[in-house]
Structure 1
Amino acid sequence: MISRRNIRVKVMQLLYMMDAGKGDNAIKNPVAELEKSFEKTKELLVYLLYFTTEVARYAETDAVKKANKHLPTLEDLNVNTKLAGNELLWQIVENESFKKAVEKVKPENLINPDFLKRIYNNLVASSEYQLYINAQSREKQKEKEILRFIFTNLMLPDEVFTSHLEELFNNWDDDCEMMDQMVNNYLSKPNGYNLQEIISEEKWAFAKSLLISTYNKRQYLLDLIKPKLQNWDSERIASLDMVLMQMGVCEFLYFETIPTKVTINEYIDLAKEYSTEQSGFFVNGILDNIHKELAQADKLNKIEFKQKK
């Protein structure tokens, strides 16, 4: 489930923390810290998926509560429970990987019932919900769209709910954009993901290698970068940009199966997204300059890239 883009973001965040951390705040075991970061990501993902399913299942709870009123109205007795029978919802709820993840993380202990009811009421008031319950058939695309609507249009923009997430998960700010992608990917194909292993062995090896190589070779990487900064005011260069450039040069030199164009494009995008407005242009210029220099010196060994020529 974790993509290489996600991995680069995690490594970037950790290297940035390590660069800033001094004395008692220093990270003693970077690999263990990275592993812990991925575990926190998994816990956050499971909670968001569970909350989404609980909003959908609340239709049945709402119907029971209204029917049990002392003097229920006709409307109370006719609450539409179509959403509670959503086929994708039950495909997720009955998925063995999902059930194991829920058993381990125990998201039910973290849910605030008031927030659950709040999101559900906002759903019922929406035109999207009315279109869904009034449709006579169950189309796979529509089943998927209503769950995505709950997550993307109701949960994520709700400041009360996201404040709740910040209190529960200290990685929410770092992982929020990643969660948008991961939850929607899961809703597209829940049976295609193993929530016990959100990062494959191959990708975990890439993550560890990128972290360790960039950190251990940081002085050599800086020696390659600094001469290219002559036309830039070093005091105005964002610390995060330096981390991104070190990671990029590290990929040039030590990751032979990653094409240099892919590396440059990835770090330009990360600079634009996580650093300053000028960072994309800056990182592009420096990495492109270093890439040309390394290529001229025949220091790039890109196996797959060369085979594709």
Structure 2
Amino acid sequence: MHDFTQRFLFDDTDVRGELADLQGSYAEVLAKHPYPEPVAQLLGEMLTAASLLIGTLKFDGLLILQARSSGAVPLLMVECSSEREVRGIARYHAEQIPAGAGLRELMPEGVLAMTVDPAQGRRYQGIVALDGATLAQCLSNYFASSEQLPTRFWLNADGRRARGLLLQQLPADRLKDPEARAASWEHLITLADTLTAEELLGLDNETLLHRLYHQEAVRLFEPYPLHFRCSCSRERSANALTSLGQEDAQRLLEEQGGTVVVDCQFCNQRYVFDASDIAQLFAGGGIEGPSATRH
């Protein structure tokens, strides 16, 4: 299994962890657009972060990470479903991206929005400034400033593999004393901070956890598979046309020479609608497939 998340627990303290490994799904995302290396690395880190976070949430639905800035990368967006289906995209100005550029150079004055969109219930969104040196620092700052459980991230990607580690402090159970809880949390974080990019990208989970926490009682659970999947469809594209209204859709049809083309930015899939499709759509007949009048 090359794409998965894997949970672990510390038996003697109130801390859980999650590890994520993305290879095939990461490659699928990068294959859709010719990303410069720094952008590919940052996109890999965000894919990993979303994959880690989905394991901390108990809901059916979608987690969306969306970063915007005034710099060379104005948009970075990743989605991960509760079924661990991931997709992502970046918008960038290639001429403004130097080799080796990091988050601060790529996304100055950036803001990151984290949206939880459950299938049932209310949508929630939290926002944090991209004021850290890395995406992992920014996400850690978000949890430190919110009322949620203390959470820390370690993320790395190299254009071929994207890996991440998450630690999260749980409500008091095994350790009731506040000082003991704080000391245990800081101890585990300090050990994780010794992890190098080479180790995170190169070691399997068992070896990595043993290297960091061989003196701790750690339980590693079965992995959950991840995979790339785009949620676009002909039906969703038709719904987007419907939302324009019949008059605007007809005008668009005329402007584009008799066909309306809807492109998915995430996967480059193209959906084409001709005059018969548009008429059927607004007549209430729906769109089950491309019109038989088109070849």
> Normalising by the residue count of structure 1, what TM-score does the alignment of the two structures yield?
0.26
> Normalising by the residue count of structure 2, what TM-score does the alignment of the two structures yield?
0.27
Q: Which has the higher strand share?
A: 2
Larger radius of gyration: 1
